[in-house]
């Protein structure tokens, strides 16, 4: 596995080892010891996936303390433009976003630490994204930021398909973050 770090602290993209033969392929997406060796603490408590039509935008989601979580996301079918927004007060990259293509072809996975809002745009019909989280879903701690309120270019060619919930999130300029940046932030 190859781990890549970026200008946004704690955000990590990794390329898993893939084994391909005449049967198909096998990919290991998580090894606790290897992640810890690379400074990533992730205790997975919940895992789920979504399947989206092309031009669906989901996000920008997070859970508030004390039910906040790290996420590890990857795509098993199709492709998405994956987007994260740093919402940690005091972070040197507060309000900055990062995006990458996650797809069945590149098989990359993205580790999203606590204090980031996450969303994506589906680039193909039936895109399947898997989420592994360090906490369980808590409706009373469910939060979000309006997808088009923080200056990110979603590269929209048609009107995106969004849920009423996602369209109802407040804009980033009105958002009061419950997250505070710390260089030794809790990683699990």
Annotated catalytic residue, options 69, 74, 118, 131: 131
Owner of token pair 């996936």:
49
User: Is position 61 annotated as part of the catalytic site?
Assistant: yes
Catalytic residue among 61, 69, 118, 181: 61
CA 31 to CA 173: how far, in whole Å? 38
Residue 118 among the catalytic residues:
no
The catalytic site residues sit at: 61, 131
């Amino acid at each position: 596995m190859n781990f890549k770090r970026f200008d946004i602290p704690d955000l990590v993209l990794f390329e898993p080892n893939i084994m391909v033969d005449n049967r198909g392929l096998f990919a290991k997406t998580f090894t606790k010891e290897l992640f810890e060796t690379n400074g990533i603490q992730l205790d997975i408590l919940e895992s789920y996936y979504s399947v989206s039509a092309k031009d669906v935008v989901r996000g920008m989601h997070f859970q508030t303390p004390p039910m906040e979580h790290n996420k590890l996301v990857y795509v098993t079918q199709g492709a998405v433009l994956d987007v994260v927004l740093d919402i940690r007060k005091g972070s040197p990259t507060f309000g900055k976003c990062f995006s990458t293509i996650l797809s069945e072809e590149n098989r990359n996975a993205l580790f999203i630490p606590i204090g980031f809002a996450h969303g994506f745009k589906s680039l193909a019909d039936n895109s399947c994204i898997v989420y592994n989280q360090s906490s369980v879903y808590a409706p009373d701690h469910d939060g979000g930021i309006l997808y088009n309120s923080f200056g990110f270019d979603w590269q929209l060619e048609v009107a995106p398909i969004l849920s009423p919930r996602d369209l109802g999130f407040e804009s980033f300029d009105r958002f009061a973050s419950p997250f505070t940046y710390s260089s030794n932030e809790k990683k699990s």
